[in-house]
Structure 1
Amino acid sequence: MAAKNILLFGATGQIGSFILEAILTTRDSFGRVAIFTSARTAETKSAYLEKLKQQKIEIIIGDVDDENAVKAAYNGIDTVISALGRNTLAQQIPLIRLAAASPDVKWFFPSEYGTDIAYGPASANEKPHQQKLKVRAVLEQEISRSDLDYSYVVTGPFAEMYLDFTPGLEEAGGWDVKGRKAVLLGEKGPARVSLTTMKE
């Protein structure tokens, strides 16, 4: 299925900004390209959003928890891309259900970027992965009976996340060059890991 009219959630965030940048490079390949953003973001990033409007990006301001706002945003949209952050992954569940109920939306990309949650059994114990598993359960067990297709885009861990420590998430791994400290993930002994950059 080829996407023609795209709606992106989380477009101004850490991963969403790279997704939007990639879409912008092929903007003429699509009919509508819209982003759904909060009133707060519209206020704090108004200059950036104005620039996007000049690039033929439709800005929809609303609250992802407002069912009517999301339904209205889905009108005429065939593909929804979610780039919601790690702390808001469960908010995708109502977005998915509304997409499945929409006569227009045919394809949903959940925010699955990063580590493959199905890769190792210990993965299910990580808090963000628990939320991703709930999202997958809705897609695979509940929504799979509708005509809504979905795709997981699993890139592997992001290299940028390991270049330094993320405040509050030091146990997730990283490097502190000044402090001469590193936290490496995985089992003891030789292991392989594949990383990608957020831009890729």
Structure 2
Amino acid sequence: MKKDKPKYRQIIDAAIIVIAENGYHQSQVSKIAKQAGVADGTIYLYFKNKEDILISVFEEKMDMFADNLKEIVKEDASASEKLYKMIENHFTVLSSNHHLATVTQLELRQSNLALRQKINAVLKNYLIFLDEILTEGIENGELDNRIDIRLARQMVFGTIDETTTTWVMNEYKYDLVNLTEKVHRLLFNGLKA
């Protein structure tokens, strides 16, 4: 499978850097190839076009978020602790890779509707795990049983997402991970029974 090949990963990592530094629209395939240290034609062995590269970047990285979240959901912990770990994981992954944060928070938003729809499809897996945490919290009495799961999901994800976007827009000037406790407290207090 292509995804297991080292050059695929090289191209994905190079694309994150090139797109973050130049913007999606100014990121030619040739720039990505140069950053990856491969010939332009090699890119087309793995990807159909630049849009396919961007979607693949998002798929790869959201899979990583979802895999981490799947492990958190499996833990023998309260919904509150799981929510805390989810927020912390999200902030930690993005604060450890500023290029990735720029791509996910800024560049993906500027893409066309078809691309955004593909991105939303990838995001679904992540949100399913968030729903599991919320449902578990309602069932065990930690969260208000009158909350609307869809609305709660939007509130949680939206807050995490906007907090990250603000951090990127402020050029990473403060420690994003340090906001975990404050964001968790705000969200959990808004959801609890």
- When normalised by structure 1's length, the TM-score is 0.25
Higher relative contact order (CA 8 A, sep 6+): 2
Higher strand share: 1
- When normalised by structure 2's length, the TM-score is 0.26
